[in-house]
Copies of this chain bind each other. A is one copy, B any other.
Amino acid sequence: MTPHTYHQFKQLGMRLDMSRGKPAPEQLELSRALLDDAAAAGHLSRDGIDCRNYGHPLGLPEARELGAALLEVPPAQVVAAGNSSLELMHDALAFAMLHGMAGGTPWVRGEAAVLCPVPGYDRHFAICEALGIRMIPVPMRADGPHMEAVEEMVRDIPSIKGMWCMPLYSNPSGAIYSTEVVRRLAAMPTAAPDFRLLWDDAYRLHHLTDTPHATPAVLAACAAAGHPDRALVFASLSKVTMAGSGVAFLAGSPRNVAWWQQCSAVRTIGPDKLNQLRHVHWLRDRAGVERLMAAHRALLRPKFDAVLAAFGELLADVPGVRWTVPQGGYFISLYTPPGLAARTVALAAEAGLVLTPAGAAFPYGRDPHDSHLRIAPTFPSLADVRVAARGIALSLRHALETREAAVPATA
């Protein structure tokens, strides 16, 4: 049934969790061969390394090479790690707190702050909050962060030690950093000598259109600007193969890779090289990854289109409402008139549809305008997405209507 009012939507008794950017089961099924061919992948690497045993803390050589091909950096500058780039990001900041970045002093000894383009990724913010790293929001635009604000703050404030960046199809705005933004981030003077761009290239391969966008190579840009150690690049295969069992990558300057090796050497005797071997066996090379990503796109594009179609039908006439049309990545941002995002989420929840909490895309969970909603259409079936997208739009309309009705009463 196609709901046309919030009441109809509620009557459907939907039970759906759309709060997180998870791949759908049919996407995971695309990499079935990782399981089916595990025996064929075996345990011996190209060079005869027994992948079952300890060792190789920076990862299996051919896994590092695959990461290098995907990130377009030399293999020696890539670490192939466990199943989660989030872990690498957390650990990089925990190491910075405890030991300092390469050549720097431990961040725990002073005040540490990072710039957070908003809206942004809630898990980035949760790491900072847990570690006691102060977060300073900066506005995000379609071509990247507001560079004048960024340049002024990093130039003047030595406690600003870093900045979160999702350069391509940013979570959740879909922003694509321009060549000029990347150049300025690489070149800008910073008061902190150990300033780092925390470059989460999560959606580098996750195009939603026939035009694969790309952002300039940040390590090369930083090196060219005389700041070779400025960027730490993070990426993973979690949304390429298996969300919980992928391979994560860290890339950086030779000095940063040595720093990572030193910090992590006491922590691990090596990653799961069998999983890395299976991934190389199945994906083979960059072309193999791109073929797989085309299959993901075929599954994901209709879901995004369904959301955009529902919003267009039900929200185009609502003043103050707008949404992003992402070219890639996992999210759509929906902006309500000020003060209605939390109410919309609550109304959707009353109807059985769990959305990402309002405010999640902002440091400390505080959206100053209470107007941003992160829509994650990847996990549910296309049929569910069609209904849910209408439900979101109808919840927003209902929030607006009931507020307008309430205002005179409380005035």
> Hey, what's the 0/1 contact readout for A15-43 against B, CB within 8 Å counting as 1?
00000101101001000000110110111
Q: Point out the residue from B36, B87, B263 that lies within 8 Å of A268, measured CB to CB.
A: B87
Cβ-based interface call for A86 (8 A): yes
Q: Give the docked Cα–Cα distance between A127 and B98 (Å).
A: 12
Bound-state Cα–Cα, A242 to B269, Å: 13
Task: Name the residue on B nearest A132 (C-beta).
Answer: B98
Given A98-B131, A267-B87: A272 and B82 within 8 A (CB)? yes
> In the complex, what distance in Å separates the CA atom of A267 from the CA atom of B126?
9
Complex contacts, A126 vs chain B, CB 8 Å: 265-266
Is A380 among interface residues, defined by CB-CB distance under 8 A? Answer: no
What's the minimum C-beta distance from A161 to chain B, rounded to whole angstroms? 16
CA A83 to CA B272, docked complex, whole Å: 7
Chain B neighbourhood of A130, CB < 8 A: 99, 263, 266
Q: Does A381 contact B (CB under 8 A)?
A: no
Which chain B residues border A83 with CB–CB below 8 Å?
82, 271-272
User: In the complex the two chains form, what is the Cα distance from A121 to B353 in whole Å?
Assistant: 52
* Cα distance, A300 to B234, chains bound together (Å): 41
Chain B residues with Cβ below 8 Å from A28 are 43, 50, 52-53
* Cα(A53)–Cα(B25), bound, Å: 8
B271, A244: Cβ atoms closer than 8 Å: yes
Q: Inside 8 A of A267's CB, which chain B residues have their CB?
A: 86-87, 90-91, 127
Q: Are B272 and A245 in contact (CB under 8 A)?
A: yes
1/0 contact trace for A37-78 toward B, CB 8 Å? 011011100000011111100000000000000000000000
Query: Does A181 interact with chain B (Cβ within 8 Å)?
Result: no
Cα A84 to Cα B83 in complex, Å, equals 13
A270 at the interface (CB under 8 A from B): yes
State whether the Cβ of A123 lies closer than 8 Å to any Cβ in chain B: yes
List of B residues within 8 angstroms of A273 by Cβ: 244-245
Q: Mark A96-134, 1 if CB is under 8 A from B, else 0.
A: 011100000000100000000000000100110111100
Q: Does A274 contact B (CB under 8 A)?
A: yes
Chain B contacts for A182, CB-based, 8 A = none
With both chains docked as a complex, state the minimum distance between the C-beta of A194 and any C-beta of chain B, in angstroms.
Answer: 18
Which of B22, B52, B94, B265 is close to A53, meaning CB atoms less than 8 Å apart?
Answer: B22
Contact pattern, A 260-283, Cβ under 8 Å of B = 1, otherwise 0: 000101111111111100000000
The answer to whether B108 and A52 touch across the interface, beta carbons within 8 angstroms, is no
Separation in Å of the A394 CB from the closest CB of chain B?
29
B53 contacts A269, C-beta separation under 8 Å: no
Chain A 146-188 interface mask (CB, 8 Å, partner B; 1/0): 0000000000000000000000000000000000000000000
Chain B residues with CB below 8 A from A292, complex form: none
- Interface assignment of A140: CB less than 8 Å from any CB of chain B: no
CA distance in complex: A212, B25 (Å): 45
Q: Is A243 an interface residue (CB 8 A)?
A: yes
Which chain B residue has the least Cβ–Cβ distance from A242?
B52
What mask results when residues 239 to 254 of chain A are scored 1 for a CB within 8 Å of chain B, else 0?
0001111000000000
The answer to whether A39 and B36 touch across the interface, beta carbons within 8 angstroms, is yes
Interface centre among A35, A84, A91 (most CB of B within 10 A): A35
Q: Are B275 and A53 in contact (CB under 8 A)?
A: no
Across-interface contacts of A35 in B (CB, < 8 A): 38-39, 41-43, 274
Complex: A245 Cα to B60 Cα, angstroms: 13
Give complex CA distance A83, B55 in Å.
Answer: 12
Given contacts A22-B54, A35-B42, A244-B269, 8 further A-B contacts (CB under 8 A): A87-B267, A87-B268, A91-B267, A98-B132, A123-B269, A126-B266, A244-B273, A245-B272
Complex A-B: 8 CB contacts under 8 Å: A35-B41, A35-B42, A54-B244, A94-B94, A129-B266, A242-B274, A244-B271, A272-B272
Closest 5 CB pairs of A and B: A38-B38, A90-B267, A28-B52, A52-B242, A126-B266
